Structure 1
């Protein structure tokens, strides 16, 4: 009898981990505007949910099943968020303020393939270089490392844009050209100033 109880608890736990992980991923896909993929995931999600809930409801007198269901739910939330981080869907906008107003900062980021809009700013201690950088989330940490290599004291704020429209960079990313070496032509082949 104990053996059957352990098997039942394990099945309920695993089912709920899978269900909640799928639920988390579906919600994130929906928020990112990927409704058709989210709908596809939801078909599997609901089957797993009904099966798991059915097992618990058929055995409500067994408290260990309810505990396994609740524990599976919590673990599923954690695993779902880890999966979402690994998928890194969508884009991130990074605002950078550098105490070094040298435009070589912007040039170096553009050479790496990032879309950068920059402007001069004035802060409490003088001139600053402000930049807005758009990148796919999967390159977010790499971008932070690049910024810190150029200016370890740079002020960085990031957020997820809800909608992106227009601009050459979006087309560039969709073609898969981000972070590939750029070939210089014409005036771009002129020698650039050394740092």
Structure 2
């Protein structure tokens, strides 16, 4: 089977897509603090890597194998990122500033299950409703949609918190009690 040039290219391409996807996911798991899962994944990753690289090195006289390896690497980065988007690990913090003082935006968001801390802030043109919202990443797009429906002109800044400690809301989310 490996004597067929087309099959060799296809195998190298697939191996590298799988390898780099694993690599991308492992890096994200490492950054999210999931050490043991990342270590387990890296064991599988290195086996796939050695097999793929070995096929290329054993057949360096065929440029299409090297090209397949490089293309597989690029595609693997994209596939790994898509997988990570679907997994949506971790949490995000969304800061929202709204001039809609007459609407009770914090209550509306809390009723949907989001953890909201709010305060009145002073902007260039007067008072603003400032909110800090914590949510699992998998609800990120839904939260944006809700905010834009409530206030299309809201100013939104998003970041990923590195560490979360305490708070009643975090316990509820970890038990899967967010009202989506």
TM-score after normalising by structure 2:
0.96
1:55 correspondence with 2:55? yes
1:97 match: secondary structure: strand
Match of residue 102 from structure 2: 102
Is residue 102–residue 129 contact of structure 1 (8 Å, CA) maintained in 2? Answer: no
Unaligned runs of 5+ in 1: 181-195
Tell me which residue corresponds to 2:134.
134
Kindly report the root-mean-square deviation, in angstroms, between the aligned alpha carbons of the 2 structures. 1.3
**Aligned-partner Cα distance in 2 for 1:106–1:12:** 52
Q: Does 1:24 align with 2:24?
A: yes
How far residue 102 of structure 1 moved from its aligned partner, in angstroms, is 3.4
- How many pairs were matched up? 179
**Residue equivalent to 2:174:** 174
- Cα distance in structure 1, aligned partners of 2:43 and 2:132: 39
1:161 aligned partner? 161
Structure 2: give runs of 5+ residues left out of the alignment: none
Aligned to 2:93: 93
- How many Å separate the matches in 2 of 1:174 and 1:77? 30
Q: Secondary structure at the match of 1:8?
A: helix
Q: Deviations over 1:56-99 (max 9, x none)?
A: 01111111111110000000000000100010000000000001
**TM-score, normalised on structure 1?**
0.89
Mapped to 2, the partners of 1:154 and 1:144 lie a distance apart of 10
Cα separation, 2, equivalents of 1:7 and 1:149: 52
Separation of aligned partners in 2, 1:55 and 1:165: 48
4+ runs deviating over 2 angstroms: none
Structure of higher CA gyration radius: 1
